[in-house]
Amino acid sequence: MKCIVTAGPTYEELDTVRRMTNFSTGALGTELANTLDARGHDVTLLRGYYATCAIAPAMRRFQIFTTTADLNRRLEALASSEVHAVFHAAAVSDFAFARIWKRAADGSLKEIRSGKISTEEGAVLAELAPTPKIIARLRGWFPKALLVGWKYEVEGARAAALAQGHRQMEENRTDACVVNGPAYGTGFALVAADGSRHTSGKPALFKALLRFCKTGSSNWRKKPGKFLNRP
């Protein structure tokens, strides 16, 4: 199976020396990529520059991405109908810095443009703009691939977290979503069209994902078949 795994965070620049990023070690995506590689699959791993995990990638094809735009470019460059699966586990920044403002004594706002914003400016206001949704572009780049997204939910209950997983699939034409985070609780859920399945830890999750690639079902007890390649 020819597959792509993304892992770790993107970052967005405030100025030339300061950056905003997500809390993501990149460990889960890296371990998944290594598991796929150990089973003989053809793996390309894209991992964020600020991924803090010490796990070394085992595969030959390994790239480091920086910003959301950079990850977008790298995935687009890999676009192919020959890719069988894409596991999009990267923690992509939802926002990027747009403009930076300083409030004057009269209450008016003045835009600050500087390679390094000085603390002499005092308090400043940062305008955040949504970044493009990479997951929404995956189906166009990988039309025959089985696409798996990730959804990390912080607030709410488990049912709401699972609903967000289904919503991600519907909106982005993906085949499955891995749901986790404080809202879901311990472990992971593999959400698919036929329902969802709880897994207690990473090994069980990876087993479920591999079986999903064979059967297209969240129920790994189904008989394995050929690796899916969407028409």
Burial class (CB in 10 A: 0-12, 13-18, 19+), 35: buried
Query: According to the model, what pLDDT value does residue 63 have?
Result: 97
- CA–CA–CA angle 202, 206, 211 (5° rounding): 150
**Do you know the residue count of the chain?**
231
Taking the domains of the chain in order of start, what are their residue ranges? Answer: 2-94+133-215, 96-129
150-181 pLDDT, tens digit each: 999 999 999 999 999 999 999 999 999 999 99
**CATH topology assigned to domain 2-94+133-215:** Rossmann fold (3.40.50)
Taking each helix axis from N to C end, the angle separating 27-38 and 202-215, rounded to the nearest 10 degrees, works out to 60
- Classify residue 221 by burial, with Cβ atoms within 10 Å: 0-12, 13-18, 19+: exposed
Tens of pLDDT along the chain (231 residues)?
Answer: 999 999 999 999 999 999 999 999 999 999 999 999 999 999 999 999 999 999 999 999 999 999 999 999 999 999 999 999 999 999 999 999 999 999 888 889 999 988 999 888 888 999 999 999 999 999 999 999 999 999 999 999 999 999 999 999 999 999 999 999 999 999 999 999 988 999 999 999 999 999 999 887 766 555 544 445 454
Q: Helices H, strands E: what count in the chain?
A: 5, 13
pLDDT, tens digit, 9 for 90 and up, residues 56-67: 999 999 999 999
Report pLDDT for 222. Answer: 55
What value, to the nearest 5°, has the Cα angle with vertex 60 and ends 54 and 66? Answer: 55
Distance CA 8, CA 16 (A): 21
Instruction: Kindly list the distances between the CA atom of residue 8 and the CA atoms of 48, 92, 111, 123, 201, in Å, as whole numbers in the listed order.
Output: 5, 8, 32, 31, 18
